[in-house]
Amino acid sequence: MNQNKLVENVTSRDEDFAQWYTDLCLKAELMDYSDVKGFIIYRPYGYAIWEGIQKYLDQKFKETGHENVYMPLVIPESLFQKEKDHVEGFAPETAMITTTGVEELSERLIIRPTSETLFCTHYQKIINSYRDLPKKYNQWCSVVRWEKTTRPFLRGKEFLWQEGHTVHQTEEEARKETLDMLDIYTDLGKELLAIPFVTGRKTEKEKFAGAVETYSIEALMHDGQALQSGTTHYFGQEFSKAFDIKFQDERNKFQFAYQTSWGVSTRLIGAVIMVHGDNEGLVLPPYIAPTQIIIIPIQGKKESVKQATETLYTSLKDLGYRVKIDDSNKSPGWKFSEYEMKGVPIRIEIGPRDLERNEVVVVTRHNREKTAYQVEDVASNMKDILKDMHEKMYQNALDHVNKNTYEASTYDEFKELIKKGGYVAMSISGEEAELQIKADTTATARVIPFEQKLITKICPVTGEKAIQTVWFARAY
Amino acid sequence: MNQNKLVENVTSRDEDFAQWYTDLCLKAELMDYSDVKGFIIYRPYGYAIWEGIQKYLDQKFKETGHENVYMPLVIPESLFQKEKDHVEGFAPETAMITTTGVEELSERLIIRPTSETLFCTHYQKIINSYRDLPKKYNQWCSVVRWEKTTRPFLRGKEFLWQEGHTVHQTEEEARKETLDMLDIYTDLGKELLAIPFVTGRKTEKEKFAGAVETYSIEALMHDGQALQSGTTHYFGQEFSKAFDIKFQDERNKFQFAYQTSWGVSTRLIGAVIMVHGDNEGLVLPPYIAPTQIIIIPIQGKKESVKQATETLYTSLKDLGYRVKIDDSNKSPGWKFSEYEMKGVPIRIEIGPRDLERNEVVVVTRHNREKTAYQVEDVASNMKDILKDMHEKMYQNALDHVNKNTYEASTYDEFKELIKKGGYVAMSISGEEAELQIKADTTATARVIPFEQKLITKICPVTGEKAIQTVWFARAY
C-alpha cells in the first residue's frame, strides 16, 4: 500500500473545504452513513470525542446542582401544540409514529425534536410550593429533526445532545441560570476543545422558538464561516403559563414559575474538526483526544526498542494518559501519516539509533515539530507538553477570530468584508436590516455582543437610527 | 403533615406485592408516568441508579476491549426483514415512523427495538480481513417495543439499555465472549446490586429471535417470581450469512464471521426494588444507592449539633461517600420514615444528648439496627459498615433463592411446589413438556443450569426420556 495513501484520499483543505471536511469525517473513522439519509453512525473514534464532552459537562452540571433524568422519546401531537411559538418553529421538522406492526395509533406521536413540552408537563405535576424550587434537570439523549440538507455532525435528522431544563421562583434567578450555563459552555471551549467561543444574545429573528431570549456560543471555522455551537434560553413565564406551572410562594400566593433551557450537541465534534484540522487531517486538542499519545517503535523487533517501548508505554499509562502502541507491520511512514490524519496529539518514535543516544523523538501534531527527549524525561514532561499544545491551539484559534473580525461603517464596506469570511460587526436599526442583509449576502446575525458600542449612529442598511451592534457572518 | 404519611401510603408488601411495587416506584420518586401509556419518566432518584449501573458496566466493558458507538434510532422496514427469525420475533411490537410534519415517507422506518440489523449492516461494510477482527462494540440507548401490558421498569414501550454486538473469527472466540459477558453481568449482581443471579442457557422456546443460544441472568423477587434480568446471545453465523459479513482469513479464504450480542436494561432497577425492598419501603444496596448516607441533626439549631453535623458531613464527603444532610424543618420522625422509604442505606442521627457522650447514632437500613458510635469513629468505620451491609444483603437474597429452590420428581409434586413460588427444577423431555407446563401452571423455563444432573430418567410430564434438567418459575 502506498505510504501516503490515506492522506492522498483527503481533499486539500484550502482547495475544497466542504469536501475536506466530509473526507476527514469518513477517513478518520469518526462516522459512517447509515441506510437512512441524514442518520449517521457514530463510530468509536467519533463517539469517544462525544464521551469526553459528556464527561466534562456532566461533572460541571452536577457540581452546579443539576440532576439527570430521562423523559420519553415521544410527544403526543396535542401536547406538542400547547406553546404556540414553539410548535410553529418545530412542526415542519417533526417525524411521527403513526402505526405499530399490528395497529394504527389513535394519536400521532412526535419523536422529540426537543423536550420542553415533556419537561413542562412533568414540572406542572411535581411543583407545588416554593420549597420545590429550583428544579434543575438535564437529559442526555438523541433528538430527531427532519432537516432537508444534512452534513455529518453539523446538521442531521438525528443528533446526540444534552438538554437542560430548569424552573425558578424569580426572573433574576432564571436569568442568572441562563448566563451561568453559557459560562460553562464557554469554559468547555476554553478548557477542553481549545475553541474560543464568541458569546452574546441572539436577535429576535434568530432566537429559539418560544424563548424570551436566546444566548449562543459561536465558533469560527477555518474557512471563515461561523458555527452556532450551543445555546441557552431564558423562557420567562412563556412556558409556565402555557403549561400552568405554578408554585405557592412564601406568602401562600400562587405564582407562575420562570424557566430556562440550554443544550449542546454532537455538532461540537464538527467544530473541533473545522477549527483545528489542517491539510494533513484532524488535529485533536490534547485533552479531548481519544488517543493522546501514539508510540511507534522503529525496527520494533530489536530487543532494545521493544523494551523501551514497553517501559515508556507503562509509565505514560500509569500517569493516566490515553496512550497506545502501534507495533503492526505497516511501515513507519504509513503509520506517521495515519496518526497525523487521525489527529493524535503526540507521536513518539522509538528507534534503535536514537536509543543509542538514550533519546526518543516526540512529534507534536498541531505544529508537526520534532523534539528529541532523553528517554527518562518524556513521561515527566508530558503534562507540560500537552498543556503547551492546548494553549497554543487555543491561541491559534483566537488569533484566527481576531484576524477575521471586522467593523463596517457603510453597507458597501460590509458587503466587501463579509465576502472575506469571518465576523463583521455593524450597528443596525433592527430586523428589517437583518432581513435585507441576509437577502443580499446570505450572512446572518450571529450574536449581539454583551459589550455594546455603536459603530455608527445611523443604520447603514435602512438609514434609520441604529439601536445595537450585531456580529454577522455566513454560517453553517 | 402526619409523621407516617409517606409510609402509610405505601401498600404492605405482604398484602399486595404488585401494588407495593408500584407505590414504591412513585412515592420514592424513582419514576413517573408520562402522557403516553407505557412510556415512563425516569426521575433523578431512579435515573441515578441507572447511572451507577452504567458506570460499573461501562468500565468493565472498556477494560475488556469494548468500544462504544451510536447507531441510528431508525431501521428501514426492508432492512429489518433480512433475518427471518429475528423479524418474526419482533415485528408485532414495532413502532413505525411513516410521516413528517409535511410529507409521507417513501419507506416506513422502524424505531429500533434492538439494533442487530444496524450493527450487521455496518459490520458488513467495515470488515474485510481477519485483521479487522474482533470488533467489540457496545451502545447505550433507548429502544421501543410496543408491549401491551406495561409496568414501571419491568416492561415498558420504551426502556433504556446497553446492547453489545461483537464479531469474531471463530466459533470458539464468539462462544467465549457470550459467556464472558454473562460473567460480567453476574459480577454486577454480586458486586453492585447485591443480587445473586441464577445463570444458565435458555430453552429453544425462550431464546432470542435469531440466536443459536441465549444465556440469561435470572433474579428471584421477594414474592417468589423470577425476573429475567439480562441476556447474552451466541449467534453463530446466522446473522453473518443473512447480512453477508465475511472476512478474508490468513490463507486469503473468505469466511462468514461469528457473532454475539448481549444486553441489560433499566429492568435491573425493578430487580433491585423487588429483591431488597421491605414493608417500610426501598432498601438500596450501599454501592448503588444514589445517596449512601443521610445525616439528620436533632435540634439542629444548637451550635454543638450544627458543628458536629458539618464536621461529619465534610469528613464523609472527603472520603468519597455520597452523603447528604437534611436540616429542613420537618420533624425527625417524618425524616426517618422518608429516608427509610427511599431506602437510603445509612442514617446518622446527631442529637444534643448523644453528643454529650460524644456519640452519634448510626442506623442501617437493611436491618434497621441502631448503633452508637463515638463521633470520631464514624467516618473511619464507614467502609466496613457499608461492606458488611452489602454482604448481608447479598447473603439474604441468596438465602431466599436457596430456600425457594426445589426439585420435582413427579408432575404433581411440581404443581404443588410451583404454587409456593421460587424455582422448581425438573428433568424434561423437551419443548412439548415445556408447553404443557406453561399451559397448566403459567410457569416458564427460566434456565437450563450449566451443571446438569438428571433428577429422573423419565420426563414426568410426557413420560418420554428426560434429556435435561430445567429450572422453572413463574416470571415477570
pLDDT in tens, A342-369: 999 999 999 999 999 999 999 999 999 9
Beta strand residue intervals within B112-268, DSSP E = 135-144, 158-168, 198-201, 213-220, 226-236, 246-248, 254-256, 258-265
Closest CA to B116 of B79, B158, B146: B79
Average pLDDT on A413-436 reads: 97
Which residues, numbered 70 to 99 in chain B, qualify as contacts with chain A under a Cβ-Cβ cut-off of 8 Å?
70-74, 76, 79, 91-99
* Confidence band, pLDDT 50/70/90 cuts, at residue B8: low
The residue of chain A nearest to residue B66, with distances taken between CA atoms, is A44
Separation CA A363–CA A332 (nearest Å): 14
Q: Which residue of B has its CA nearest to A36?
A: B76
- What is the pLDDT averaged over residues B10-17? 90
Q: Mean pLDDT throughout A463-473?
A: 98
pLDDT surpasses 50 at A1: no
**Superfamily holding B406-473:** C-terminal domain of ProRS (3.30.110.30)
> CB distance B68–A47 less than 8 Å?
yes
**Chain A partners of B121 at a C-beta cutoff of 8 Å?**
34-35
Q: Which of B174, B152, B198 is nearest to B262 (CA)?
A: B174
Q: Which pLDDT value is given to residue B443?
A: 98
Phi, psi of A347 (to 5 degrees): -115, 130
Cβ pair A69:B42 closer than 8 A: yes
Confidence label for B10 from pLDDT (cuts 50, 70 and 90): confident
Sheet hosting strand A67-68, strand order edge to edge: A67-68, A135-144, A158-168, A258-265, A226-236, A213-220, A198-201
Calculate the alpha carbon distances from B431 to A43, A273, B426, B466 in Å: 41, 56, 13, 11
Q: Would the CATH topology of A293-387 be identical to that of A405-473?
A: no
Strand, coil or helix: what is B12? coil
Alpha-carbon distance of A336 to A5, in angstroms, equals 12
Q: What percent of chain B shows pLDDT beyond 90?
A: 93
CATH number for the region A293-387 comes to: 3.40.50.800
With contact defined as beta carbons under 8 Å apart, do A245 and A123 qualify?
A: yes
Q: Are A446 and A205 in contact (CB under 8 A)?
A: no
| Chain A nearest C-alpha distance from B452 (Å) | 40
Fold classification of A5-73+123-276 is BirA Bifunctional Protein; domain 2 (3.30.930)
Residue of B nearest to A111 (CA): B97
The pLDDT tens digits for B19-38 are 999 999 999 999 999 999 99
Q: What is the pLDDT of residue A2?
A: 41
Q: Nearest CB to B101: which of A48, A94, A160?
A: A94
> Which residues from chain B sit within 8 angstroms of residue A92, using beta carbons?
100-102
Contact A272, A193 (CB under 8 A): yes
CA distance B366 to B289: 12
Distance from the A214 Cα atom to the nearest Cα atom in chain B, whole angstroms: 25
A405-473: CATH superfamily: C-terminal domain of ProRS (3.30.110.30)
8 A C-beta contact, residue A456 and residue A433? no
Interatomic CA distance for residues A67 and B44, integer angstroms? 6
Instruction: Output the CA torsion sign for B132, B135, B137, B143.
Output: positive
CATH superfamily of B5-276: Bira Bifunctional Protein; Domain 2 (3.30.930.10)
Rounded distance between C-alpha atoms, residue A162 and residue A70, angstroms: 11
Ramachandran angles phi, psi of A257, nearest 5°: -80, 165
Which region holds residue A153: left if phi is over 0, alpha if psi is between -120 and 50, else beta? left
Tell me how far the alpha carbon of residue A148 is from its chain's centroid: 21
Question: pLDDT (tens digit, 9 = 90+) per residue, A290-339?
Answer: 999 999 999 989 999 999 999 999 999 999 999 999 999 999 999 999 99
CB contact under 8 A, B68 and A76: no
Three-state secondary structure of chain A: CCCCHHHHCCCCCCCCHHHHHHHHHHHCCCEEECCCCCCEEECHHHHHHHHHHHHHHHHHHHHCCCEECECCCEEEHHHHCCCHHHHHHHHHHCEEEEEECCCEEEEEEEECCCCHHHHHHHHHHHCCEHHHCCEEEEEEEEEECCCCCCECCCECCEEEEEEEEEEECCHHHHHHHHHHHHHHHHHHHHHHHCCCCEEEECCCCCCCCCCCEEEEEEEECCCCCEEEEEEEEEEECHHHHHHCCEEECCCCCEEECEEEEEEEECHHHHHHHHHHCECCECCCCCCCCCCCEEEEECCCCCHHHHHHHHHHHHHHHHCCCCEEECCCCCCHHHHHHHHHHCCCCEEEEECHHHHHCCEEEEEECCCCEEEEEEHHHHHHHHHHHHHHHHHHHHHHHHHHHHHCEEECCCHHHHHHHHHHCCEEEEEECCHHHHHHHHHHHCCEEEEECCCCCCCCCECCCCCCECCEEEEEECEC
Dist CA B117 CA B87 (whole Å): 10
Map out the domains of chain B as residue ranges.
5-276, 293-387, 406-473
B137 in contact with A, Cβ within 8 Å: yes
Report angle CA B107, B113, B118 to the nearest 5 degrees: 65
Question: Which of B453, B180, B120 minimizes the C-alpha distance to A35?
Answer: B120
Higher pLDDT, B390 or B209: B390
Chain-chain contact of A35 with B102 (C-beta, under 8 angstroms): no
Q: Mean of the per-residue pLDDT values for chain B?
A: 96
Closest by Cβ to A98, choosing from B76, B94, B98: B98
Strand, helix or coil for residue B217: strand
- A window 414-473, beta carbon within 8 A of B: none
Q: Does the pLDDT of residue B2 top 50, yes or no?
A: no
For range A236-242, the mean pLDDT? 96
Measured between beta carbons, the chain B residues lying within 8 angstroms of A98 are 96-99
- A contacts of B92 (beta carbons < 8 Å): 100-102
The answer on pLDDT for A3 being more than 80 is: no
| Cα–Cα distance for residue pair B354/A318, rounded to 1 Å | 46
% of chain A exceeding 70 in pLDDT: 98
At residue A5, the pLDDT reads: 53
Residue in A32, A101, A146 nearest the CB of B92: A101
**Chain A neighbors of B94, CB-CB under 8 A:** 100-101
Average pLDDT over every residue of B178-197: 98
Nearest to B69 among A44, A96, A108 (CB): A44
B47 part of contact set with chain A, CB < 8 Å: yes
Shortest distance, CA A159 to any CA of chain B (angstroms): 9
CB pairs below 8 Å between A and B: how many?
Answer: 150
**Residue range A235-248: mean pLDDT, rounded:** 97
Q: Is the pLDDT of residue B1 over 80?
A: no
pLDDT(B182) > 90? yes
Which chain B residue shows the shortest CA-CA distance from A328?
B131
pLDDT of the residue at A7: 58
- Is the CB of residue A100 less than 8 Å from the CB of residue B93? yes
**A122 chain-B contacts, CB cut-off 8 A:** 32, 34, 41
Q: Residue A225: pLDDT band by 50, 70, 90 thresholds?
A: very high
Confidence of residue B88 (pLDDT cuts 50, 70, 90): confident
Mean pLDDT estimate for chain A: 96
Q: For residue range B52-63, what is the model confidence (pLDDT) as tens digits?
A: 999 999 999 999
- Distance in Å, alpha carbon of A93 to nearest chain B alpha carbon: 6
Task: Say whether residue B69 is in contact with chain A using an 8 A CB cutoff.
Answer: yes
From A9-23, A231-245, A393-407, B244-258, the region with the lowest mean pLDDT = A9-23
Banded pLDDT at B6 (limits 50, 70, 90): low
Note whether A101 contacts B79, CB cutoff 8 Å.
no
What's the pLDDT score for residue B176?
98
